[in-house]
């Protein structure tokens, strides 16, 4: 017998189920993000959440000293609210950035891209602080919005990377919505506290905070994309090679389709996505409208300074914090709905995401706006309309959480594109709708301007009511939802 024969005989044949073995090896591998210890997962999630909140400050902190900035750059608000342009360009960038940036990070890895984006975002604060003309300020804020918009949406990507089930992801995604909204809500508060030093100090303080976070970001942030980690491990561990081959990188054209064409298609052809986008975008836009409304109302009625008016925004944040706590039992209700699902037994019902959002929309959003409207008189104590603002903050938090989670549950594998469509609408409304706020409150008066917003809220409440009533039937007619179930 030859040596070759002996070698051949002594070498075990590769197992027939080597692909299955490779998959099992990856599923049990300690570097698989699903197998990470919970403290490690939460360190990353809380870091990303903290960055989302801090990025939101940059979006709206400029609203408190906006008139001072406009005056500094010799821009008048007489015919048009030009002082709002720094917020508009930021939000427009934030609407566009995630549509391209998120698919690229998903495909090429989170950690490296995240750190680069964070450094670029931090660097963009420097020219905001030092800008010598309005054009410079607008350009660098547009770039900050492009980058910041991606950073703001990362937790919604990271959570599914490190937690395998909906039940595990409920709290992180609820936290994501809270910090996403509260960051832009607290921006004017930061501006109110700091801008008395100088409007440039609003950006200097942010630069100090963002700079101090750089070593924290570089230390805590890890690669969370399972396919990226797997492909790197497979280079040195042959047992993982076949599992890694199941995740080929798509072509750039496919990435661009997922990023731009599919969200647009969903928005134009799926009534559920379109009407929920309107509902959520209106809520998110209200946070920005209030940056224009509150200074008008509280300065005219109560003689509040710009700083004092900025501090009133805390009431919205208090409502959002209460809304965050209210969403936790709502998440538990959703999980229990699996027991009564007769169509897909054992799977929670998407419409079980909506019960809290219906009274929140009708009583919290519309009711809070009516309260704010008809308490806005000089003879009424300033705390009374402020309580109405807290109800609005509560509703905004509950509604946007319900929309994000309902769409995720209903559209499953197309959820990323559907959420991108909603986020696009939210940022565009936040960018452009507040331009009408000052003239609306001046023309209609404080009472009827806020009442008009309240009537819109009442009409938009029909969206969750119809879904709660006929959601299963509507989902059954959706081509995207049917394809997601089949795929």
Q: What is the pLDDT of residues 103-128, one digit of tens each?
A: 888 788 899 999 999 999 999 999 99
Any idea what DSSP says for residue 32?
S
Q: Tens digit of pLDDT for each residue in 269-324?
A: 999 999 999 999 999 999 999 999 999 999 999 999 988 999 999 999 999 999 99
Asked if pLDDT for residue 12 goes beyond 70, the answer is no
The predicted model gives 206-221 an average pLDDT of: 96
Asked if 392 contacts 319 with a C-beta cutoff of 8 angstroms, the reply is yes
The predicted model gives 77-87 an average pLDDT of: 88
CA neighbor of 292 nearest in space, from 310, 315, 317: 310
CA neighbor of 369 nearest in space, from 389, 342, 353, 350: 389
Q: Tens digit of pLDDT for each residue in 396-442?
A: 999 999 999 999 888 877 888 888 889 999 999 999 989 888 889 98
> Measured between alpha carbons, how far is 481 from 477 in angstroms, rounded to an integer?
8
Asked if pLDDT for residue 2 goes beyond 80, the answer is no
The predicted model gives 175-179 an average pLDDT of: 95
Average pLDDT, the chain: 90
* CB-based contacts of 212, cutoff 8 Å, min separation 6: none
> Measured between alpha carbons, how far is 139 from 86 in angstroms, rounded to an integer?
9
**445: alpha, beta or left? (left if phi > 0; alpha if psi -120 to 50):** left
Asked if 452 contacts 445 with a C-beta cutoff of 8 angstroms, the reply is no
Burial of 11 (0-12, 13-18, 19+ CB in 10 A): exposed
Asked if pLDDT for residue 186 goes beyond 90, the answer is yes
> Measured between alpha carbons, how far is 116 from 109 in angstroms, rounded to an integer?
12
pLDDT of res. 25? 85
Q: Tens digit of pLDDT for each residue in 85-94?
A: 999 999 999 9
- Rg, C-alpha atoms of the chain: 25
pLDDT of res. 234? 86
pLDDT of res. 265? 87
Beta strands in 156-305 (DSSP E): none
How many CB atoms within 10 Å of residue 340?
Answer: 10
Cα three-residue angle 28-30-36, rounded to 5 degrees: 110
- Of the two residues 341 and 45, the one the predictor is more confident about is 45
How many CB atoms within 10 Å of residue 82?
Answer: 17
- Of the two residues 17 and 186, the one the predictor is more confident about is 186
pLDDT of res. 481? 79
How far CA 410 is from CA of 350, 406, 415, in Å, comes to 6, 6, 8
| DSSP labels, 54-70 | HHHHHHHGGGTTHHHHH
Q: Tens digit of pLDDT for each residue in 342-384?
A: 888 888 999 999 999 999 999 999 999 999 999 999 999 999 9
- Of the two residues 392 and 25, the one the predictor is more confident about is 392
The predicted model gives 52-62 an average pLDDT of: 96
| pLDDT confidence bin for 8, thresholds 50/70/90 | very low
How far CA 408 is from CA of 13, 35, 317, 416, in Å, comes to 44, 23, 25, 8
Any idea what DSSP says for residue 12?
P
> Measured between alpha carbons, how far is 417 from 56 in angstroms, rounded to an integer?
22
Q: Which long-range contacts (CB under 8 A, 24 or more apart) does 333-336 make?
A: 334/170, 334/405, 335/166, 335/167, 335/170
Asked if pLDDT for residue 451 goes beyond 90, the answer is yes
How far CA 278 is from CA of 184, 197, 428, in Å, comes to 19, 39, 11
Q: Tens digit of pLDDT for each residue in 216-260?
A: 999 999 999 888 888 888 888 888 888 878 777 777 777 777 778
* Helix ranges, 109-238 (H): 111-130, 134-152, 154-162, 166-194, 199-220, 226-234
Any idea what DSSP says for residue 13?
P
> Measured between alpha carbons, how far is 227 from 107 in angstroms, rounded to an integer?
9
Tokens of 257: 């389709």
> Measured between alpha carbons, how far is 181 from 147 in angstroms, rounded to an integer?
17
pLDDT of res. 487? 57
pLDDT of res. 406? 93
* Helix ranges, 195-305 (H): 199-220, 226-234, 241-244, 252-256, 262-269, 271-302
> Measured between alpha carbons, how far is 292 from 269 in angstroms, rounded to an integer?
34
- Of the two residues 475 and 120, the one the predictor is more confident about is 120
CA neighbor of 277 nearest in space, from 263, 292, 297: 263
Asked if 397 contacts 424 with a C-beta cutoff of 8 angstroms, the reply is no
Place of tokens 């917020």: 87
pLDDT of res. 195? 81
pLDDT of res. 40? 96
């Amino acid at each position: 017998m030859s040596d070759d024969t002996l070698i051949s005989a002594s070498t075990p044949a590769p197992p027939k189920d080597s692909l299955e073995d490779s998959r099992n090896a990856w599923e049990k591998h300690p570097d698989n993000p699903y197998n990470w210890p919970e403290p490690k997962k939460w360190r990353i999630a809380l870091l990303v959440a903290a960055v989302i909140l801090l990025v939101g400050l940059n979006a709206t902190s400029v609203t408190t000293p906006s008139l001072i900035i406009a005056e500094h750059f010799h821009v008048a608000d007489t015919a048009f609210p030009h002082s709002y342009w720094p917020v508009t360009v930021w939000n427009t960038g934030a609407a566009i950035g995630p549509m391209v940036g998120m698919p690229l990070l998903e495909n090429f890895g989170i950690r490296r891209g995240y750190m680069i984006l964070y450094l670029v975002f931090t660097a963009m604060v420097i020219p905001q602080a030092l800008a010598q003309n309005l054009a410079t300020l607008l350009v660098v804020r547009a770039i900050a919005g492009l980058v910041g918009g991606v950073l703001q949406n990362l937790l919604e990507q990271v959570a599914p990377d490190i937690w395998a089930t909906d039940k595990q992801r409920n709290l992180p995604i609820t936290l994501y919505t809270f910090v996403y909204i509260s960051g832009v809500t607290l921006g004017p508060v930061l501006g109110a506290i700091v801008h008395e030093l100088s409007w440039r100090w609003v950006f200097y303080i942010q630069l100090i905070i963002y700079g101090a976070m750089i070593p924290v970001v570089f230390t805590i942030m890890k690669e969370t994309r399972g396919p990226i980690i797997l492909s790197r491990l497979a280079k040195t561990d042959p047992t993982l090679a076949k599992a890694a081959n199941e995740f080929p990188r798509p072509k750039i054209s496919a990435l661009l389709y997922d990023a731009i064409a599919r969200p647009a298609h969903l928005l134009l052809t799926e009534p559920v996505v379109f009407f929920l986008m309107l509902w959520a975008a209106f809520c998110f836009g209200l946070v920005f409208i209030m940056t224009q409304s509150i200074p008008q109302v509280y300065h005219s009625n109560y003689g509040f300074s710009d700083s004092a008016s900025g501090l009133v925004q805390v009431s919205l944040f208090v409502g959002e914090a209460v809304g965050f706590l209210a969403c936790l039992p709502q998440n538990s209700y959703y999980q229990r709905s699996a027991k009564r699902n007769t169509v897909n037994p054992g799977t929670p019902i998407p419409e079980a995401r909506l019960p809290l959002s219906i009274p929140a929309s009708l009583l919290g959003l519309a009711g809070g706006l009516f309260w704010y409207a008809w308490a806005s008189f000089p003879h009424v104590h300033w705390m009374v309309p402020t309580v109405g603002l807290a109800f609005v903050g509560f509703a905004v938090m509950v509604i946007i959480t319900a929309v994000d989670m309902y769409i995720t549950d209903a559209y499953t594998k197309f959820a990323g594109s559907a959420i991108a469509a909603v986020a696009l609408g939210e940022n565009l409304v936040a960018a452009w709708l507040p331009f009408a706020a000052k003239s609306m409150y001046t023309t209609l008066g404080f009472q009827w301007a806020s009442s008009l917003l309240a009537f819109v809220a009442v009409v938009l409440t029909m969206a969750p009511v119809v879904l709660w009533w006929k959601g299963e039937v509507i989902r059954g007619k959706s081509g995207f939802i049917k394809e997601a179930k089949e795929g």
